[in-house]
Amino acid sequence: MTRDVLIVGGGTVGLSIGFELVRRGTPVTLFEKETAGRGTSYQAAGMLAPDAEIEFEERELYDFNRESLRRWPDFADRVEAASGQSVDYRDEGTLIVADDRDAAEALERLYEFQRDQGLDVEWLTGAEARDVEPFVAPSLAAAVYAPSDHQVDNRRLVGALRTAFEAEGGTLHEETPVEAVVPDEDVPAVRTAGGERIEGNRVVVAAGVWSRELDGLTPDATPPVRPVKGQSLQLRSKRPFDLQHVIRGPEAYLAPKSDGRIVMGATSEEMGFDTTVTAGGLYDLLEGGWEVVPGIRDLPVDETWAGLRPASRDHAPLLGRSAAPGVLMATGHYRHGILLTPITAEEMARLIRTGETSDWLRPFSPRRFSDAKSPTRSA
């Protein structure tokens, strides 16, 4: 009897790994403690922006992000074909804008670093930025245009992934919290909160910020993932306002969707699992958004929320075999979960099916933190 791969977590990462496995003939059972696709993945903004988000000391992560973006169009086509649903992949590009002289100086440093790394970016004056996107503020000091940065509607994506996963033969158990994993090289298992033990071929922990809460793992196998709170809000576009590009200002970003939603975010707060929406958080976002796109002032507010990003110690994902036999990790994606969906799904599916850890996954081994603590061994 062939045992299923067991996936814990029904967000974008868990669903996409499951989808890539079942479409290749590997049976999968996925467990989600609430409703699949309605957690962190649903609360994101859907930006696919490796060029805009490059950090000075994260070149290895940037290369990983960039490769995932390269794979996005084909991945989107597969998901749409299997689900019959659009994920609203858009390629207008991103404008990174500066609203005053200090912000322009900081932006220029970023631009020079981007150019040194060979990125496809263009420096714009404030007037030139308005030629690209007429709804940015006329007082902008400068901007950088990143045409290769794209976006997707993350809410449509999670719905399409869920449909595609089940359409290809995956088994989904919602409202089924997993309490513990049971490591074993040959027959790993999960134990649900209801006390049921389900054995599998491999267990994949893709539970985002909840990955660390699972019982059954030794300290060296427990993923060092913490929640980072991000408050966001959603506006509703109305004529004549018709923002087309993702706008990233010093204090807020705005991501317009094809259905008229404009997602604004996001704060970054070390508040544990607190998801309270605060007046101060919303004020900061609205002020930061209004400074760079003043037309939002008259738009209706549809929704507010606070999501939890799963962050590792170095803010890079945990992907691959853990120190627990038979248990793999796919968590800790922090701000890049939607962007990294294709490469995570494809490379994790390859690892599970062939046993081979690709060069793409190797730098993000879940064991990198525990291995770093081990005493150096002589050759």
pLDDT at position 172 over 90: yes
Determine the length of the chain: 379
Question: Can you give the pTM of this predicted structure?
Answer: 0.96
46: tokens are 């859907």
pLDDT at position 68 over 90: yes
Q: What is the biggest distance separating any 2 CA atoms in the chain, rounded to whole angstroms?
A: 69
Q: Each residue of 253-286: pLDDT tens digit?
A: 999 999 999 999 999 999 999 999 999 999 999 9
Consecutive H or E run containing 180: strand 178-182
Q: For 15-25, what is the mean pLDDT? A: 98
Rounded to the nearest 5 degrees, what angle is found at the Cα of 170, between the Cα atoms of 214 and 167?
Answer: 140
232 bridge partner residues: 305
What number of other Cβ atoms are within 10 A of residue 261's Cβ? Answer: 16
pLDDT at position 373 over 80: no
pLDDT at position 362 over 70: yes
Distances (CA, A) of 278 to 43, 75, 233, 297, 351: 16, 37, 11, 19, 42
**DSSP code of residue 26:** -
Please tell me the predicted confidence (pLDDT) of residue 375. Answer: 46
Indicate the pLDDT class of residue 379, thresholds 50, 70 and 90. Answer: very low
pLDDT at position 376 over 90: no
When mean pLDDT is compared across 47-61, 83-97, 218-232, 246-260, the lowest value belongs to 47-61
Query: Do 210 and 251 meet the contact criterion of CB atoms below 8 Å apart?
Result: no
Please tell me the predicted confidence (pLDDT) of residue 56. Answer: 82
Q: For 24-42, what is the mean pLDDT? A: 97
Q: For 170-189, what is the mean pLDDT? A: 98
pLDDT at position 28 over 60: yes
Collapse the DSSP code of 287 into the 3-class scheme (helix H, G, I; strand E, B; otherwise coil) and give the result. helix
Distance CA 229, CA 275 (A): 7
Q: For residue 138, which amino acid is it?
A: P
Q: For 59-76, what is the mean pLDDT? A: 96
193: tokens are 């909160």
Q: What is the mean pLDDT of the chain?
A: 96
Please tell me the predicted confidence (pLDDT) of residue 377. Answer: 36
Query: Do 87 and 153 meet the contact criterion of CB atoms below 8 Å apart?
Result: yes
Distance CA 375, CA 379 (A): 13
Q: Each residue of 112-158: pLDDT tens digit?
A: 999 999 999 999 999 999 999 999 999 999 999 999 999 999 999 99
Query: Do 216 and 183 meet the contact criterion of CB atoms below 8 Å apart?
Result: yes
DSSP string, 332-359: -BGGGTTTTHHHHHHHHHHHHHH-PPPT
